[in-house]
């Protein structure tokens, strides 16, 4: 479920000494909180110290890119995970926010050279969002097998460590070919 973390990373306590930021949006905290828990779980499993994780809370997802840029500069971080949940409503707010936030997160990463992980769910229903936070089985079609839903936050923690190693230490992981 989800994408498997790189095995050599897991073996090597790769996240040791990395400084990671997590910016979370306060909206839809029933989804965002378990996603952040998932991020922290995978970060610490990979060796990141709890004291090396900087937490920031912002009101909504639109604020994620600026906060990411800000804490990168203030704290000399190796990667930031932006966690938010956007759910389609009656107006077009969802579409324009989702677009601006996804482009904004990409921009902050490219401007700074520091990985900014896209941990924003863009869902058509709360049920879809809950399933991706690992706390509800959702509909049958949401979870194609009979297994429990996967907390996407686990992937984002792994991604933050892996990308920090690539950008900071030029540790490229070659596959056998």
Identify residues 45-84 at the interface with a second copy (CB under 8 A). 54-60, 62-63, 65-67, 69-71, 74
Q: Would you count residue 155 as binding a second copy (CB under 8 A)?
A: yes
Nearer to a second copy, 18 or 101 (CB): 101
Q: Which tokens go with 133?
A: 């936070």
Q: Name the one range near a second copy by CB under 8 A: 12-20, 41-49, 94-102.
A: 94-102
Q: Check binding of 111 to a second copy (CB under 8 A).
A: yes
For residue 71, the minimal CB distance to a second copy (Å) is 7
6, 42, 136, 151: which one binds a second copy (CB under 8 A): 6
Q: Is 100 in the site for a second copy (CB under 8 A)?
A: yes
* Binding residue count for a second copy, defined by CB under 8 A: 72
For residue 73, count other CB atoms closer than 10 A to its CB. 11
Binding a second copy by CB under 8 A: which of 82, 108, 130, 154?
108
Q: In what order do the strands lie in the sheet with 116-123?
A: 53-58, 20-25, 79-87, 116-123
- What residues have CB less than 8 Å from 156, skipping those under 6 apart? 35, 38, 39, 42, 81, 83, 117, 119
Chain mean position to CA 58: 15
8 binds a second copy (CB under 8 A): no
Phi, psi for 126 (deg, rounded to 5): -65, -35
Residue 137 in the binding site for a second copy (CB under 8 A): no
Check: CB of residue 55 under 8 Å from CB of residue 22.
Answer: yes
């Amino acid at each position: 479920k989800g994408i498997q973390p790189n095995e050599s990373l897991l073996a090597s306590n790769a996240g040791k000494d990395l400084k990671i930021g997590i910016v979370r949006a306060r909206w839809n905290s029933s989804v965002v909180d378990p996603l952040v828990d998932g991020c922290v779980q995978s970060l610490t499993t990979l060796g990141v110290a709890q004291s090396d994780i900087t937490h920031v809370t912002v009101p909504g997802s639109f604020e994620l890119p600026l906060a990411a840029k800000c804490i990168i500069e203030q704290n000399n971080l190796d990667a930031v995970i932006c966690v938010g949940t956007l759910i389609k409503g009656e107006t077009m707010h969802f579409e324009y926010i989702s677009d601006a936030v996804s482009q904004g997160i990409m921009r902050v990463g490219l401007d700074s050279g520091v990985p900014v992980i896209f941990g924003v769910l863009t869902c058509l229903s709360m049920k879809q969002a809950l399933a991706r936070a690992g706390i509800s089985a959702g509909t049958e079609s949401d979870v194609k097998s009979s297994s429990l839903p996967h907390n996407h936050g686990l992937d984002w923690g792994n991604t933050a460590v892996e990308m920090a190693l690539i950008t900071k230490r030029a540790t490229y992981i070659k596959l056998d070919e």
